[in-house]
Amino acid sequence: MRGLNGSGPRGRIKAADIERAMAQRKAAPVVSAEAARAAEPARAAMFSVGVDIDVTALLALAEQINNDLPDLHANLAHFVALAATKASATSLSAPLVMGLAANTESTVGEASLLAGADCRTLGGVVAKAKIAAATSAAAQHGTLWIERAQDGVSFLSADPPSGWPAALAIGALREAFRPDPEGRAVRAALVTVVLTARASALDPQQGQHLLRGLRQLLEAPLLLLA
């Protein structure tokens, strides 16, 4: 038997040694599968996951849309909210209610409440976003809190406000070089989007699925607006 120390001369294993080892194994407690899972380290109360998104094509389309519709004033946050509405259909089980923070320069500002059912088009998102209230009034129970980082801050991970299970932070735009389909380095506009959520309310797998859907839509703006 492996790992057995003999008590005989020069460490020879005797019958008594084997009997003693077998008795010890029988006396060892049997750990059930449930107990083993309970003994595993618990997941953290919060988790964060982020993706880099190439918004080069999106910004070009947004400029064209705003030139053709000068009263629209659509910005990146509006497109993110629209993408979240569409991506959440296959990622979240609860109806989507978004809080869109309007002020990035201070902790006291305004926010808009956007119900996913009312934000199926870009125009719908922009119209809802114009209806802003004090942050304290808007901070009611919702699904996804969206805020933008200050200029020059490309990565922001912030806990959601009280009563909100998840927060989506949009980093500032930055330039980078990425390979094109032929492998040549081309200039691109990137933004980092970070999802921070309460693990008790949103499964990490769901969070990752939501971000992947968000990136797919924002990198294919025609698909986003379809």
Q: Report which DSSP code applies to 122.
A: H
pLDDT of residue 44: 62
Cβ atoms of 194 and 215 closer than 8 Å: no
Q: How far is CA 189 from the centre of its chain?
A: 21
Q: What is the radius of gyration, based on Cα positions, of the chain?
A: 27
CB 91 within 8 A of CB 210: yes
pLDDT averaged over 10-residue windows placed end to end, the chain, 226 residues: 63 70 64 55 79 96 96 94 90 80 61 86 92 62 88 92 90 90 89 94 91 96 92
Query: Residue 20's pLDDT is what?
Result: 76
* Overall residue count recorded for the chain in this entry: 226
Helices within the chain (DSSP H only):
15-27, 33-39, 56-68, 76-87, 122-129, 135-138, 204-218, 221-225
CA angle 55, 59, 65 (to 5 degrees): 140
Are residues 169 and 196 in contact, defined by beta-carbon separation less than 8 angstroms? yes
**What distance lies between CA 163 and its chain's CA centroid?**
17
What pLDDT is attached to residue 81? 94
CA distance 199 to 205: 10
Give CA–CA dist 215/99, Å, rounded.
20
**pTM of the predicted structure, to 2 decimals:** 0.75
Q: How far apart are CA 18 and CA 138, in angstroms?
A: 72
DSSP state of 89: T
Residue spans of the domains in the chain: they are 9-39, 46-225
Fold of 46-225: Chloramphenicol Acetyltransferase (3.30.559)
| Alpha carbon distance 207, 165 (integer Å) | 11
CA atoms within 13 A on the CB side of 84: 32
Give 194's DSSP letter.
E
The answer to whether 66 and 78 are in contact (CB under 8 A) is no
Q: Taking a C-beta distance cutoff of 8 angstroms, is the pair 169, 76 a contact? A: no
Listed in sequence order, the DSSP H helices in 33-190 are: 33-39, 56-68, 76-87, 122-129, 135-138
- pLDDT at position 11: 66
pLDDT for res 181 = 80
Q: Amino acid identity, residue 108?
A: V
**What pLDDT is recorded for position 107?**
47
Number of DSSP helices (H) and strands (E) in the chain, helices first: 8, 8
